[in-house]
Each structure stands twice: as C-alpha cells, then as structure tokens.
Amino acid sequence: MDTTVQDPLVGQTLDGRYRVEARIAVGGMATVYRAVDTRLDRVLALKVMHPGLAADTGFVERFIREAKAVARLSHTNVVGVFDQGTDGTYVYLAMEYVAGCTLRDVLRERGALSPRTALDILEPVLAALGAAHRAGLVHRDMKPENVLIGDDGRVKVADFGLVRTVDTQTSVSGALLGTVSYLAPEQIGHGTVDQRTDVYACGVMLYEMLTGAKPYSGDTPMQVIMQRLNEDVPPPSAAVPGLAPGLDALVARTTSRDPAGRPADAVAMFADVRAVRAGLSPQELDDRPYEDARTGGFEDAVPGGAVGSEEPTSVVARPPAATGQDSDALHRTTRLPLPPPEAPDPRHPVARSFASPPPPPPGGRPRAGRGRRGPLAVLAALLVILGVGAGVWYVSDGQFTHVPAVLALSQADAQHKLTSAGLDTRVDQDFSLTVPRGSVISTDPAPGKRIRSNGTVKLTVSKGPREVRVPDLKGRSLADAQQRLRAAGLTPGTVTKSFNDSVPQGQVIVTRPAAGTQRAPGTPVTLTVSRGSAVDVPDVIGDSVTDAQQELQDAGFTVVLAPEKVFSDQADKDTVAVESPEGDTQAAAGDTVTITVSKGQQLFPVPDVTGKKSSEAKQILQDAGFDVRVINLFFGDSVFSQSPDGGGQAPKGATVTIWVR
C-alpha cells in the first residue's frame, strides 16, 4: 500500500531548496525520497535520516562520512552525492536519482539469472568497488539492495553509509553492523575489514544471481552466521546443474573463508571475472537450466526458501564461536578437485621414451649380449631422453609465458606490467559503459593464457561511453523534439517553460546540454519550451464577475469560473475573491485564468456574556475569536450590556464592546 500521503515530509521543501515529491524507500537509518532541486531544476534522491536518530552524534557522523566518502569517488558506476545538510531535525544527503530498480527487485521478479546477465551486472559493481578500494575505502554493506539498475541499463552502487577506511574496526560492544547474509567470516570473527570483505559479499551476490537463492538459510540470523563460520559456500552447480565449472571455481575463490584465498580487491576480482567469462562458451553464458521463479518451478529447484527475500542492514550479536572457540573454521578454504592428468600421447617422442618397456620375449630370458651392454645402453638412453626432454621443454614451455592480469588498469600501468614481463603491446580503443576512460577493457590473449615470451598482447582500452551529438531542436514542437532525442540515443529530460518573444508558444527555445554537445548515450536532455510573449494579468479582485471576465478576455486570457464560492474578508459578497494566476503577474496569451466568487465574510456566533464578571466575559469572547473593548461605568465589575448582542453573528476578529458597572 502506498503510504506516501501519510509521510509528513512529502510536499515540503527542505533547506529552502529540495522539494520532496514522493517516498521511494525506508531503511533502518533513513528514508529515501524523490525530490526536485528547485535551484538547479533537476530530479534527485534525498536520503533523510530518521529524526529520532538525529540526536545520536554517531549516526550523524556516519551520515556525513558517507557524503565525504562518495564525494571522493568520481566513477560512472557509483551513485553520486551532490550535497549534505540539515534543516531543523532533518539531516539529509542529496544524491543522484537513478530511475529503475534494484538487483533485489530483479532477483525477486526473475529468480536465477543467466551467467551472462549475472556477469554483466557484477562487472560494473566491481568497477565501482575497485575505484573505492583504490581510494582506500571499503563499502562493508554490499548486497542486492544496494545495486541499482537504471532504466537505461546502467548499473550503480549505492549506500556507502557504512563505508570505512581499510583496517578499521567495525564491532561495537561485541555486535556486528551489516547485513547478515553477506558478512565475511573475518567480519564476524574479528570485526576488522579490508577490500576482501567486499569481495566476499560480491561472491555471495554472484551465487545468488546464478541460483536465485542465498547460500545459507536459517530461522534466525545466528543460524546463518554459524553456517558461514563452519561451512563453505556450496558450488552454484549443486543448486543449478549444468552451470560451468569455471563459475563454481569463481564463487569458491571469492567466498573463501580464509581471506588470503580471495582476490586481493575488487580490481583483482574484476580481472578474475573477465578471465572466467573469456573461458565460457556462448551456450555456457546463456544457458538457463531452470525456469525462473516467476514462471514456476524454480523455488522448488533451489535450496534456501523464497527467492530474493530482502534482508536489512542490522546489528547482530557476535557468536561465541567467532571469538576463538572455532578459530579453525575461519581458515578452512574450499578446494575444488582437479581432473586427473591426461594420459600421454604414445606417439609423442618423449612419451615413448618414458613408456613402459616392452615385455620380455617368450620364456622370460633376455636376448644374448643384453647383459653386457645394459649399463651403457641405459646411460645412452637416459642422455637421449634428457636431451629430447630439454629440447621439447624449450620448444613447448621455455619460449612461453602467461599473460599477466591487467584488466581495469590504466593503459600506462598495463603496458608497463606487460613490458616488464617481456611482452610487446598493441593498443586498440573501444567504447565502454562500465570501464572508465583510459582503462583496459580486455586483452588478447586473455589474462592467464599462454603466449610466446616475446609475443604481442593486444590491449583494448576504454574510450568511455560512446558519445552522441545533441541535435539542434530550437523551434521544434515538444513532441517532435522528444522523438528526435530518442532517435539520437538520448533521453528526454525535464521540460520547463519560459516566456519568449521570438519563439512561438509550444516550441523549443533551448536545450541543456546545448545543441552540438557530445554526450554519452542515454544522457537526459532538459528542454525549455516557449510560453509565447508575456502578458500582464489584470488584478480583478473585488470586481464583479461580469467586469472581471470582460477585462481578462480583453487581455487575451481564457476565463474559468470556479464552481465553489469562498468566504473572504477583503471581497464583498458576489465579487471576485481569488484570482489564479494572481493579478499583476505575467502569463502567456491564451492561458487560463480561474476566478473564484466571494461569499462575503464568514460570520461566527457571538457568546452572550451579560451578567458575567468582566474578566470572565473578556476571556469567553477572546476564546471565540473576537477582540474585546471594555467600558467601565461606576467602577463596577458585572457586564450589563454588549454589542453585538449575544446570540448574534460577527466576523472572526471583530470587536465586541461590553459595558460594566
């Protein structure tokens, strides 16, 4: 049920600037609203701390820390923070508004995702976290609720409310702050975090995207925590048979209970993900072994209960096992079984050299002379084997190396790393929505693949998002301008109207960004549309209805008479009491002016105070909304007359005179 209308902030303007339009979401610390920045005329998200927490300096500091932390990050996949401030009891952040949904919404609607879709979402998440990790920041609360997916397909990481610098203690009085399903074992055990705790949470999210369910379930948060301490995250293919082994291995590495077994940070995990993707066939990337939860069958196919259940950020008591009773559980790692080595090809010369000797001739006796030549023959054979083996090693392995992981590095850093490995580089460029400009999108051969020691690695470096030119829309109708923006790959943005003497009413005056400007696809373009020439609105308050209609029509306006009359202290009965827009302002010719007719002053009953003491009579009349004038005759204290008389009527604020004797 939509409870926006009951929210006291909706309709208000915070700090004289941010007009709150609707409530988007409610969390444990704050409520998020859609709002309009009236100064810059743009839609944004307003995150307002619950007033009950504003008195807690710790919560306020965390709020301000979020603003400062995100302000340090300039990345296309991080939800930007524009402003931070207070207005009375309200502490707020003004943030970028992302029209779309969360990853949690997608999981709830679709259940398990294809590997391609899961990796397409995970990569920009890691790009955002990589920027934070390189800035020395750890998110600490990565979960599907904090991954926003815009209507244009862009993926952004939100809610850096729990962000900390690396190696900062996160526990308070033995409690854990975070979302239980995504806490890393070391967070539970020791309360310290580094970049690998975010990597762990991303590994759990990958498992959830591939299977549609969380890896652990329980009736209480403590049950989930104990499973995490004592059990490895199961391979996704155990829940969804048919998933590629490379995905199982990726989940196992990123959710290792020993932090040392995980990628060092989000940048390293990004490279790992790209390497795994490169090793998957199109069928392995696009297979959906089960129907999703919406079409039936998936909830029964995976463990863990309801698909995509939400879980808030919370404070949970740390389990006793995390303080030392089961310390070994924190250091056990998942090890995937390796396939048995392939049998050597008997046609290969080295394989033949190490093959089992031929069986002895019938009778079990060697041929004559074998005994005398045995030692020399063995030595000669050994030398031949060693020579051939060394030659084959040089040909097959000695001339080769493995391509270092350079994904997401800057072009200069990547080339330096490859050159240090003895490899040449060739650079191509391509557009990318997720990889920042100047960073490596991919390599050929892929990271970890074999290449000759003096070979050349092709680097594909990001040019940033593909840019398109904003078309010239001046003089076009609003509908035509919006259609042309969509055709150019841009998004029609906010429409504002302005008076203009040269551009006809209803046509575009200007766009922001300006015509000819290069922008990324999907960029919103604000349109300013002409209202035509400005016309002064006559002031008709107090005029008769007929005179007011004639005067407004003569000025070029359409006149509408409001169906209901109103009381008015300024306008006599049956004259104009209200005019919208107001008189002495400006509007466009042809605009509608609404007038409302007066019912005259509203009258209220006058209490009868005769016979009462003067002080009591005065209080009764004032409580009824009237001013009181006291005339004292003969120095008495009893009211013997009043005007207006008791039982009559008078407007609020009118003066009632009482005579006392």
Distance CA 463, CA 466 (A): 8
DSSP calls for 86-128: EETTEEEEEEE---EEEHHHHHHHH-SPPHHHHHHHHHHHHHH
Bridge partners (DSSP) listed for residue 150:
100
**In the structure encoding, which two tokens stand for residue 47, read together?**
């995150």
CA distances in angstroms from 608 to 604, 616, 619, listed in the order given:
13, 12, 12
Pick from 147, 131, 133, 153: which is nearest to 182 by CA?
147
141 has catalytic annotation: yes
Phi, psi angles (nearest 5°) of residue 148: -100, 135
In three-state form (DSSP H/G/I as H, E/B as E, the rest C), the secondary structure along 217-231 is CCCCHHHHHHHHHHC
DSSP calls for 591-657: -EEEEEEB--PPEEEPP--TTSBHHHHHHHHHHTT-EEEEEESTT--BEEEEESPTT-EEETT-EEE
Report which secondary-structure segment, H or E, holds 206: helix 195-211
Are 428 and 441 in contact by the 8 Å Cβ rule? The answer is no
Distance CA 236, CA 254 (A): 13
**In the structure encoding, which two tokens stand for residue 645, read together?**
């008389």
Distance CA 344, CA 355 (A): 9
Helices (H), 145-194: 185-190
Catalytic residue among 15, 105, 120, 141: 141
Pick from 432, 433, 434, 419: which is nearest to 460 by CA?
432
Catalogue the active-site residues.
141
